[in-house]
Amino acid sequence: MSDNATQSFEEVSSGYSMHEAIAEAKRCLHCKTPQCRTGCPIGNEIPDWIHELSMGNLGNAMRIINGRSNLPAVCGLVCAHERQCEGHCILGKKDRPVRIGKLERFIADFDGEMGLIHEPLAQKTRGKVAVIGSGPAGLTIAGDLARLGFMVEIFEMEPEAGGVLMFGIPEYRLPKDVVRREIRKIEELGVVVRCNATIGSDYTIDDLFDRGFDAIFIGTGTGKPRKLDIPGNSLKGVHQAIYLLRLVSLHQAGSISRDEIPVKSGQRVFVIGCGNTAMDAARTALRMGATDVQVIYHRTINEMSALRAEYDDAVKEGVVFNWQSSITEIIGEEGSVRSVTVECQGERRKERADLVIMAVGRFPQVALFPQPKA
């Protein structure tokens, strides 16, 4: 990879300085009925910790955040703020909302660097819980249960914990050091993380009960991608977005070589779908050297599930969007993708293509339990 390309995986959002963070915190009106809190799926006590921050009490702010969230730096970076807390902030009606995500990330980073909070370890007297999967769901429940006095072990099939945070969302949006730091904090609560442990093959659910677990939480995510049923979908050069993102993460962690990543310099890449996964795949393809990346989406811009901020960044970086369009056929030569047929409002055109990346939804894996014989 060239130096430039390496550079481009650097984080795109810049953090606040202390001065900027306190100035931004002072903008909060500390509403009696805080709409930001209503907009937060975990009911984070947003005005309370922002108030502490506005007075420079970062330890208190962190303690309040910890009462609701085990992943504040991650949430600060990749939560859907524009639809959740910030989207509900009353200031947003006339001016810009308080940058709640960026403030949360600031506090979490400061705590990570300075070690502000040392939580007393709860005695593990209440029972033993196995958590399957170490994505945000598994990590969150593990942290909460450990605080409540349960002995918790996480079983993760990947070589490293984090789920989509580690192997899906790219480095430039969510630096892996941030994820590792959050996981370390959860481990410091007494949670044991066992990687390379697949439930369903290495151990069964019954094995876990036999090992003395009282309860099992299944947080195995939606790791099975949907395949679009169009001619040519099995040609060489057709890939699933989540597999591409995983390979890039593994390459950046030094586990696989650059050659194993399907995107090559100068390629023309078509991405089908318009959610966050599609945005990540399109922007990652550019970073891996593709010169032309086209997103194909069958609906309009107002119906895309990607966050507006992700879309804006993708446009800035040069991704081209084709609305109300679909790929109706992938055409190959000698087994590899050569072109696609794009249909837009009844009209069809053929476009040269090197790669087609599908980002059209995901399902849960069903391999946890033995499948009934047909």
Ligand X SMILES: Cc1cc2nc3c(=O)[nH]c(=O)nc-3n(C[C@H](O)[C@H](O)[C@H](O)COP(=O)(O)OP(=O)(O)OC[C@H]3O[C@@H](n4cnc5c(N)ncnc54)[C@H](O)[C@@H]3O)c2cc1C
* Token representation of residue 95: 């001016």
Applying CB under 6 A, among 280, 288, 327, 357 the residue interacting with ligand X is 280
For position 13 contacting ligand X by CB under 6 A, the verdict is no
Q: What angle do CA 274, 280, 285 make, to 5 degrees?
A: 105
Q: How far is the CB of 231 from ligand X (least distance, A)?
A: 26
CA distance 322 to 343: 10
Q: Where are the alpha helices (DSSP H) in 84-148?
A: 85-88, 100-114, 136-147
Instruction: Give, in order, the Cα–Cα distances in Å from 159 to each of 166, 217, 260, 274.
Output: 11, 20, 18, 29
* Binding range to ligand X, per CB under 6 A, among 12-20, 23-31, 107-115, 363-371: 363-371
Residues 48-87, mask of contacts with ligand X (x by CB under 6 A): ------------------------------xxx-------
CA distance 313 to 307: 10
Considering beta carbons, is residue 78 or 189 the nearer one to ligand X?
78
Which span sits near ligand X by CB under 6 A: 6-14, 158-166, 253-261, 340-348?
158-166
Query: Could you give the string, one character per residue 239-258, with x where binding to ligand X holds by CB under 6 A and - elsewhere?
Result: ---x--x-------------
163 touches ligand X (CB under 6 A): yes
58 vs 358, beta carbon nearer ligand X: 358
| Cβ atoms of residues 241 and 359 within 8 Å | yes
Stretch that binds ligand X, among 58-66, 141-149, 272-280, 336-344 (CB under 6 A): 272-280
- Which range, of 1-9, 104-112, 129-137, 296-304, touches ligand X by CB under 6 A? 129-137
The answer to whether residue 133 forms part of the interface with ligand X (CB under 6 A) is yes
Phi/psi at 127 (5° precision): 130, 175
Short-list 76, 105, 96, CA closest to 17: 105
- Does 358 contact ligand X by CB under 6 A? no
Tell me whether residue 135 or residue 190 sits nearer to ligand X (CB atom): 135
Cβ at position 342, least distance to ligand X in Å: 24
Strand 325-333 versus strand 336-344 pairing type: antiparallel
Cα–Cα distances (Å) from 182 to 5, 32, 126, in that order, read 27, 31, 24
Q: Tell me which of 49, 106, 155, 172 binds ligand X, using CB under 6 A.
A: 155
What is the dihedral sign for C-alpha 206, 212, 217, 223?
Answer: negative
157 forms part of the interface with ligand X (CB under 6 A): yes
- Please tell me the distance from the alpha carbon of residue 18 to that of residue 4, in angstroms, as a whole number: 30
Closest approach, Cβ 108 to ligand X, in A, equals: 16
* 360 makes contact with ligand X (CB under 6 A): no
- Residue from 219, 237, 262, 289 touching ligand X (CB under 6 A): that is 219
Residue 37 has a CB neighbour count (10 Å cut-off) of 18
Q: What is the token pair recorded at 88?
A: 């509900």
Query: Applying CB under 6 A, which residues contact ligand X?
Result: 78-80, 132-138, 155-158, 163-164, 168-169, 198-200, 219-221, 223, 242, 245, 276-277, 280, 365, 367-368
